[in-house]
Amino acid sequence: MSLYLEIPHYEHDFPFRSFISQGWEITNPHWHRDLEFIYCLEGTVNLGADGEIITLAEGDLFFFPSAQPHFFLASPDSRRLVFQFDLLLFQEVQQKFGQNLEQLYDRAAKHSQQWPPEIRQQLIGLFLQIHEEEVSKKSGWQYGVLGGLYQINRLIYQLPPTSDAPQPSGQSLRNKQGLEQLNLILEYVERHYDRPFSQEEAAAIVGFSPSYFSRFFKRMVGQSFSHYLMDYRLNQAKYILGTEELPMDEVAARTGFASVKTFHHVFKKRIGVAPLQFRKQLRATP
């Protein structure tokens, strides 16, 4: 299966949107024509791009240029603010002044920790401002958003260029193939996490030996397959605990744990509280 093309849904025929995404959401490798900026509101956000795993700390900003494949790993206890917009918003200006914004964003450093502090603060402030404009939906809010985006484009010109040299086409192809294979594995986890299965079974999906599969997954995702699978199951369990009133043995069975005893032990060790206590804490949160 190829990387999937995500087509953002825009309202009001205005190709911009912003929204808050929770940390337990996992997004498989995909790409889109639109630019995407990620601002870490709380905790840490783990994402994959350019063949590596990148961790955003609270207050960090990162962007994906048009058509860059990327994905998100589960990042418990985190929240991120997502901005997506189409460069067609600036088509008339680009044509008039002969500017190519797509190339500008391709060349610029992507992580806010690589930016001059003054530029970083200005960009973060502008993104928070345009998010407030969109949320408010006051008369003329689109002009507020568009004005902020023009200022953001101006500041991108002042960012240092990325230090990564362009990859040879063969390396780019291998990266794309690796992402497609990873996508197959992650989709398999999504479909079968609710039953026990082995790493050997997952390796067979992409025709890898268990030892090569182990190295491949660690290189692509930054953690072992068993660790990723356990995190995925625990995040599904947390979602069920927060949204359904089920007995613990059923929660354990629906998330692939062999027994409620194992589920209780692993959950408490990794999350810090027992599953029932976690549910009570969620209920107590206003």
Locus of tokens 């082995």: 198
- pLDDT bin (cut points 50, 70, 90) of residue 167 is very low
Mean pLDDT of the region 181-210: 91
Q: What is the mean pLDDT of residues 66-79?
A: 85
Helices 117-136 and 141-156, packing angle to 10 deg: 160
Level-2 CATH architecture, domain 4-157: Sandwich (2.60)
Alpha-carbon distance of 48 to 276, in angstroms, equals 33
Question: Against a cut of 0.75, is the pTM above it?
Answer: no
Is the confidence at residue 165, as pLDDT, over 60?
no
Ranges 23-37, 156-170, 224-238: which has the least confidence: 156-170
**CATH architecture of residue range(s) 228-284:** Orthogonal Bundle (1.10)
Per-residue pLDDT band for 262 (boundaries 50, 70, 90) equals very high
> Residue 24: which pLDDT band, with cuts at 50, 70 and 90?
confident
pLDDT in tens, 249-260: 999 999 999 899
d(CA 238, CA 277): 11
Where do the domains of the chain lie?
A: 4-157, 170-222, 228-284
- Token pair 């107590």 is found at 284
- Asked whether the predicted pLDDT for residue 221 surpasses 60, the reply is yes
Q: Are the CB atoms for 40 and 46 separated by under 8 Å?
A: no
Q: Tell which residue, 8, 5, 25, has the closest CA to residue 232.
A: 25
- For residues 81 and 7, the model is more confident at 81
Summarize the confidence of residues 237-249 as an average pLDDT.
89
